[in-house]
Amino acid sequence: MEPGQTHAILWSFNEATGKWKQELEAPLVNRDGRYWVEARIPHLSYWNIDAPIEDHAPIIVRKVTDENGKLVLSPSIQATGIDYNGISLARRHNYGPDSICIEVKKNSKIRLSAGTVLKDGFTEASRIIQSKGPGTCANQRNAVYVDDLVIRPVELGSLLPGLNELVYIERLDLADGRSLFGMIIAQEGSTLIFVTRNKILRIQKKEVRSQNFL
C-alpha cells in the first residue's frame, strides 16, 4: 500500500479464459491499525487486490491420482509463489482429457498443491518445483509437466493448524436461511469448498444467496 492510498483495485478471475480482469475500485478501511478492503462484488468468483503477473510460465499437471493409483477427477490445484508473493489458480486445457494447466511467474520457485474433498475427507498433495518460461497455457512453450502427483488423506488439523482458532473472513447466506462463517478455500466447477472452525463443506453456488467479507 502506498502512503496516502485510499482505494484498492479488485481483479476477478475468468475461469473460461484463465485471465484476471480489473473490475472494481474499493475503499480501504482502517480497523484497529489494519487495512481492509470493503466492496460489494457483482458475482461469486476468485477475487484479488494485487495486480496480476505479466511474465508467465505454464505448469501442466497431466495426472493426479490417489494412493491406489485411481485417477482423481477435477482436483483443486493452485500454485503459491515461494520467491515471489502470489497465488495462481488452475484451469483445464486441451493437453489430454484429464490435464490441467496453471500459469505462474516465470523462472520462479513455487509450491504446487492439489486437493479434493472425497467421502473419506480432505486429501492433498504438495510439491516445490521450479518454473521455466516464458509461456502461457495457450502456448505451452517452456512448460513444466507433472505426471505423478499423488494425493493422500490428511487430518483436518494438519491441513489447517489452529483450525479451532480460525479467523472468520467470509459469511455465506444460503437460500435455506442458514448463515455460514469461515472462508472459501477452493472451487470445483459449480461447487464451493468452504471451511469453518470444525468442518469442510461442499456448497453449490446456486445455494448461495449472498457473500460478505467480514
Print pLDDT tens along the chain (214 aa).
Answer: 566 778 888 888 887 776 778 888 888 888 877 888 888 888 887 888 776 666 889 898 888 887 788 877 667 788 999 998 888 877 554 445 557 888 899 999 999 888 776 544 555 677 899 999 888 877 788 899 988 788 776 544 444 444 555 556 788 999 999 898 888 877 777 888 887 776 777 888 899 999 888 7
Q: How much is the pLDDT for 199?
A: 72
Residue 156: its pLDDT value, please?
44
Question: What is the reported pLDDT for 185?
Answer: 78
Question: For residue 1, what pLDDT is reported?
Answer: 55
pLDDT of residue 98: 54
**What per-residue confidence (pLDDT) applies to 151?**
78
CATH for 56-154 is 2.60.40
Give Cα 27 distance to the centre of its chain. Answer: 24
- Fold match, 56-154 / 159-213: no
Domain boundaries, the chain: 7-48, 56-154, 159-213
Q: Regarding the domain delimited by 159-213, which CATH topology (the fold level of the hierarchy) does it fall under? A: SH3 type barrels. (2.30.30)
